[in-house]
Amino acid sequence: MLEVDKATFETEVLQSGELVFVDFWSPACAPCLDLLPEVEAFAEKNGGRAKFCKVDSGANKRLAISQKVMGLPTFAFYKDGEKVAAFSKDEIDMSAIQDKLDELLS
């Protein structure tokens, strides 16, 4: 997964010509760390179908706020510069996220 920050978010995510999955996380977030192996497996399984990025929200607070990230972890899909889907905290179910990825690519 590509690590992006406030300096690279626009280029790597908003201006990307492909579907982008972004993991907003923090090393201080226990649930984020618990989900890390699942997120990495999801990215590996779907590599080549979409672009996979992560944002350390602790180090990029203004970026997270600008993207309306209200809690961690938050996963979001971006397409054509717009956020088209987001999952946060209790909504995170990797099979539902896989279904959303498949839907967005169809």
Residues annotated as catalytic (active site), given as ranges: 29, 32
Classify residue 104 as exposed, middle or buried by CB count within 10 Å of its CB (0-12, 13-18, 19+).
Answer: middle
Q: How far is CA 80 from CA 27, 62, 103, in A?
A: 29, 22, 15
Classify residue 87 as exposed, middle or buried by CB count within 10 Å of its CB (0-12, 13-18, 19+).
Answer: middle
Beta partners for residue 2, in sequence order: 53
